[in-house]
Structure 1
């Protein structure tokens, strides 16, 4: 069983890094032609958490509209109510900002009070606002609830979630984190940057659509995956991240298409396993990323294009064809790095991909 605790896998991920030196219509939540009318409004002069807590305790849909200005927060905002829309006046007008020096998540969707969420949160949208995290605050984890990372926007066991038209920056851990088997999550048309860890982190995620985002200037990876299944990652710009553009551990049956992946410190795409032990680095059995299709992605000026990290427990042996395929990708100053296939098997096939 893979751990839900991100700290252990992070340490292991860096160990592997060192040794390595479906479609949108399938998602039940879709864009509405016209925004739903506001049921209630709140301005920065009022208590956002209290306003959320006063929404009707029933299954009715509620639209809470956040006015323009900066909501100064000294503790995280939590939303546990289903069928709720949080909408700002625009990501250049409405800002949720954690006060300087506070080590905390900014917005948590779902049950934050238990390490294993007690129930799902369903049918929630957050759109048209900016979120500013704690930046370089003291701790990556929330002191009162140490299983909770100080990511800016956290989705915990969510289902049918839309995160759209957001500007999320200055995050102490990840900027956007989904965890505990969140599924049918759509992360669309957002700007995500300046995380002290990864821009977007998907931890044991079901179907997810990551579409049309700009994810850049994060200390670690632009996107990191610790098990992701049957998802679509397309039309994103993933650039200028400190380690990898995309770090894919135990990712299966996913489509990656038309992404611009450039100027990342290590690989544009790092294909690997889920880490069981970090010293020495050992993988969970049969956890290497597999059955993924990469189509028409553009790799420019990364240290590597694809970089493959496998071991004796998680590899590509015993397959008639490689489990991953690159079709029509282009590589400019992004050489691919692959291990000794006679020992580990071939892990990726190239069909019509070319170096420019």
Structure 2
């Protein structure tokens, strides 16, 4: 009897997996099939499906969406399979994903009316070997974001190239457990931006020819606040020299041309092992949120920032914009390699600050540094000169654990 029950159980399990495999499908769509075939494939997609996109250019006049879990959307290469939205009349983005365990890889998205590829509320979302580009170059009329996961978990961005975004090329916002690696961002306002997010590793990337290379921000009046545990390491951040072309009113409009890495109002951020050169305003800026706000839960100052073991080339020779000119007015030219605005909360600036909330810098002796000694966004009237202080605090802050993603472990 026991043997019979075991045999029945094995048969039932086998039937279940055969049925699941039968439901999964490999669907192939080519540009010759037309835009409607691609739209239909995404609408009818079911869990486990792979949608293979053929070589060529898909001409699309409306946004695409995918809401099925466990789907792979794969092209023949970022320069071989192109989703062109040059004639897009509707939709807020080129492709919107609202499902879990989705892999997007090996295709390009060009000239979307709004954002390039957006994922909202997704868990285990992978962007791999993609290209998102506005082919007319930097323009305030371009979409805000290239790769744009928001309110998501377990986000992997790798091997991606983004050009021309009027806000951020690669942007991860209000999300948790993030890896951005091996990607390239150029000719955007912000190359790579991690905003209001928890636990992120940003490494092995190239950020060049943007207004600012890599931004780690925390902003008020958003559902998820208190960004923390961010590691920015082993990146090449150089020659960020594109004039700021953000539409009026965008917070990235404050970023001066020539910013390398900027940390604003975030907590436990570690910046190390990066190579920075040719950034005309400054290589690294640590700053408080500069605008007025009405949000009782928001903390506007950075806490627990550790900058160490980076390599600095020439930079700071041509600061621009309101922020750049303010810094240069206090430090002179060239602007130091690392600048901290020194903003702290009143009355905290009069008292002792806990170790985990301090700003630590441990760089080579020839690295230049300025503390502007500002409070509540105002320069102290009795001391506008920078305070030079390169400290040695190896191990000053506990480094966040490496981010581990489920999709990474399975691959």
Question: Normalization by structure 1: what TM-score?
Answer: 0.70
For the 8 Å contact 1:293–1:324, the answer to whether it is kept is: yes
Q: Which residue of 2 aligns with 1:249?
A: 217
Name 1:293's counterpart in structure 2: 270
Query: For the structure 1 residues 95 and 355, does the alpha-carbon distance in structure 2 shift closer, same or farther, using more than 3 Å as the test?
Result: same
Partner of 2:144: 173
RMSD (Å), alpha carbons: 2.3
Structure 1 residues 232 and 340, CA gap change in structure 2 (3 angstroms): closer
Q: How many angstroms does 1:245 deviate by?
A: 1.1
C-alpha contact (below 8 Å) 2:301/2:344 kept by paired residues: no
Looking at secondary structure, tell me which structure has more strand per residue: 1
Instruction: Assess, with a 3 A threshold, how the Cα gap between structure 1 residues 223 and 266 changes in structure 2: closer, same or farther.
Output: same
User: Structure 2: how far apart are the matches of 1:39 and 1:341?
Assistant: 56
**Which position in structure 2 is the counterpart of 1:235?**
204
Q: Per residue, is there more helix in 1 or in 2?
A: 2
What secondary structure, in the 3-state scheme, does the structure 2 residue paired with 1:195 have? Answer: coil
Query: Paired residue for 1:305?
Result: 283
How far is 1:258 from its partner?
0.3
2:313 to 321, 325, 332: 332
State how far apart, in whole Å, the 2-side matches of 1:66 and 1:228 are.
32
Q: Hey, what does 2:251 align to over in structure 1?
A: none
2:39 partner SS? helix
Question: Alpha carbons of 1:196 and 1:341: their partners in 2 closer, same or farther (altered >3 Å)?
Answer: closer
What stretches of structure 1 of length at least 5 have no aligned partner? 1-36, 111-120, 138-149, 273-287, 317-321
- CA distance in structure 2 between the aligned counterparts of 1:107 and 1:342, rounded to whole angstroms: 41
CA 342–201 in structure 1, closer or farther in 2 if over 3 Å, else same: closer
* CA distances 1:165-191 after superposition (whole Å, capped 9, x unpaired): 111101522111111x21101000111
The answer for the alignment partner of 1:109 in structure 2 is: 97
Of 150, 153, 174, the match for 1:183: 153
Which one of 341, 348, 352 corresponds to residue 359 of structure 2? 348
SS at match of 2:133: strand
Q: Provide the rounded CA distance (Å) in 2 between the counterparts of 1:93 and 1:198.
A: 24
Tell me the distance in 2 between the aligned counterparts of 1:84 and 1:342.
47
Higher relative contact order (CA 8 A, sep 6+): 1
Residues 228-250 of structure 1, C-alpha deviation per residue, up to 9 Å, x if partnerless? Answer: 211110000011112x2122113
1:30 aligned partner:
none
| Paired residues of 1:38 and 1:65 also in contact (CA < 8 A) | no
Distance change >3 Å, CA 314–CA 342, structure 1 → 2: closer
Could you report, residue by residue, the CA deviation over 1:1-58 in whole angstroms, capped at 9, with x for unpaired residues? xxxxxxxxxxxxxxxxxxxxxxxxxxxxxxxxxxxx97110111332111222234xx
Structure ID, larger Rg: 2
Native 8 Å contact 1:332 1:355 kept in 2: no
Asked if residue 195 in structure 1 is aligned to residue 165 in structure 2, the reply is: yes
Asked if the contact 2:86–2:110 (Cα under 8 Å) also holds between the matched residues in 1, the reply is no
How many residues align? The count is 270
Quote the offset at 1:270 in angstroms. Answer: 1.5
1:62-77 matches, within 5 Å, as 62-77=49-64
Contact 1:38–1:63 at 8 Å: present in 2 too?
yes
List alignment gaps of at least 5 residues for structure 2: 1-23, 135-141, 219-226, 241-256, 291-298, 316-336, 369-411
CA contact (8 A) 1:245 1:268 kept: yes
Query: 1: CA distance between counterparts of 2:287 and 2:230?
Result: 18
CA spacing shift, 1:342–1:256, aligned 2, 3 Å: closer
**1:155 pairs with one of 119, 132, 135:** 119
